[in-house]
Amino acid sequence: MSVIEGAIVYSNLLVLLSVGLTLTYITTAVPNFAQGSFAVFGSYISLTLLRLYNLHPYYSLPFTFVLGGLLGLTVYLLMLRPLIKREASVVILMISTLALDLILLGIIGSYSDSLAQFTHKSASRFIFTPYDFNLAGLSAILLVSSLVIFLSLFGLFLLLYKTRFGVALRASMENPDLAEVMGVNVEYTRLFSWFLSGALAAMAGTLLPFRQEIVPSTGAIIIVSIFAASIVGGLANINGALLGGYIIGFSESFLTYNLSAILGTGILLYSKVISLVVLVIVLILAPRGITGVNWRRVLWKKSSSQ
């Protein structure tokens, strides 16, 4: 896979993950630190289906979508909703998702041991690249991940802009109290966001092993990039996740690649530092992320100062 292919694939997956993160943040004010582990959950579902039923990972996407969605829903219903009902602060919610991340890590870790014992094949680290193939001169993962991101975003767009529930969803994101006044049961929109967030994350998890090796703790590492993407784009806006995902995905891929040519491959270990540097730079220039900038005003200022 060429560097650019790798960068696109990685960015596509990052967008899937950060769209979910931003969505649940807007609708429930929960910064979900377990989003990375939601993805690893998806990776392990695909691994299980591959090892037990010899199902190609690409075909397991529908399963991971549904199961990931159910995971998101369960987490919201069992853990977050009771906390929100008791008016927990955003810090409490954040710490609870950190705890959840540790719980998921434990569960995934012990599950990988059981799976390994059962199938007599290691499951504590794995990669899907041997299962990938070429299509029209391009790696299949490039096409599949692009198709998944296109369909997900197009579907989300149709839903948000063309359906009654979508208008209600956008209304609830902007002002939940007023949406209730209009007769919208805002709780449905929260359930929906957690389902979708879990589902998109798990699909990203199915595709991630085509690009990098997965271990049970991969989630804790990738979460840095997910947050960076969402925050760089602007946490208040769904489109921000899209923009941020590609900015972070590309900078991480290209800068690490170029730096490794100069400084040696040791730099690969620190690729997350790049996300954080980009994050810091963007936040200094635009504290609410890129979509939080009033671009019309910026452009107007520029043209009027000339």
Partner 1 sequence: MLRTVKLNAGYKELHILFDVDAEMEKNKITAVVGPNGSGKSTLLKSIFGLATIHSGKVFFNGGEITKYPPHARTKMGIAYLPQTDNVFANLTVEENLRIAAYTVDKDEVKDRINTALDIFPELERFMKRKAGTLSGGERQMLAMATALVRKANVLMLDEPTAQLAPKFAELIFDRVVKLRDDLKLTILLVEQNVQRALEISDDAYLLVSGRVAFSGKANDLLEHEKFEKLCMGILD
Residues 199, 66: contact at Cβ < 8 Å?
A: yes
* Contact status: 87 vs partner 1 (CB under 8 A): yes
241 binds partner 1 (CB under 8 A): no
Handedness of CA 256, 258, 259, 265 (dihedral sign): positive
CA 173 – CA 116 distance, rounded (Å): 43
The nearer residue to partner 1, 86 or 302, going by C-beta atoms, is 86
Sort residue 132 into left (φ over 0), alpha (ψ -120 to 50) or beta.
beta
Q: How far apart are CA 76 and CA 180, in angstroms?
A: 20
Q: Which of 198, 226, 161, 166 is nearest to 69 (CA)?
A: 198
Identify which of residues 179 and 274 has a Cβ nearer to partner 1 in the complex: 179
> CB-wise, 97 or 189, nearer to partner 1?
189
According to the binding rule CB under 8 A, does residue 185 interact with partner 1? yes
Nearest residue to 206 via CA among 272, 145, 297:
145
Q: Tokens 């879990």 belong to which residue?
A: 198
Min dist CB 161 to partner 1, Å, is 9
Tell me the two tokens of residue 253: 């891929």
C-beta of residue 5 within 8 angstroms of C-beta of residue 190: no
Q: Are 33 and 97 in contact (CB under 8 A)?
A: yes
Which CB, 136 or 181, lies closer to partner 1? 181
User: CB of 15: closest distance to partner 1 in angstroms?
Assistant: 22
Instruction: Of 65, 111, 82, 107, give the one whose Cα is nearest residue 207.
Output: 65
**Residues between 135 and 164 with contacts to partner 1, criterion CB under 8 A:** 164
Determine the distance from the C-alpha atom of residue 201 to the mean position of all C-alpha atoms in its chain, rounded to a whole number.
5
> What is the number of residues in the chain?
306
Query: Cβ 180 to partner 1, closest distance in Å?
Result: 4
Window 273-292: residues binding partner 1 (CB under 8 A): none
The binding track of 160-179 with respect to partner 1, each residue x by CB under 8 A or -, is ----x--xx-xx--xx-xxx
- Cβ nearer to partner 1, comparing 237 with 271: 237
To the nearest whole angstrom, how small is the minimum distance from the Cβ of residue 163 to partner 1?
11
Number of residues interacting with partner 1: please give it, by CB under 8 A: 19
Q: Which is nearer to partner 1, 81 or 272 (CB)?
A: 81
User: Does the protein bind partner 1 through residue 181 (CB under 8 A)?
Assistant: yes
By the rule CB under 8 A, 255 interacts with partner 1: no
Nearest to partner 1 of 87, 264 (CB atom): 87
Q: What angle do CA 275, 238, 252 make, to 5 degrees?
A: 15
CB of 164 to partner 1, least distance (A): 7
Using CB under 8 A as the criterion, which residues of the chain lie in contact with partner 1 when the complex forms? 87, 164, 167-168, 170-171, 174-175, 177-187
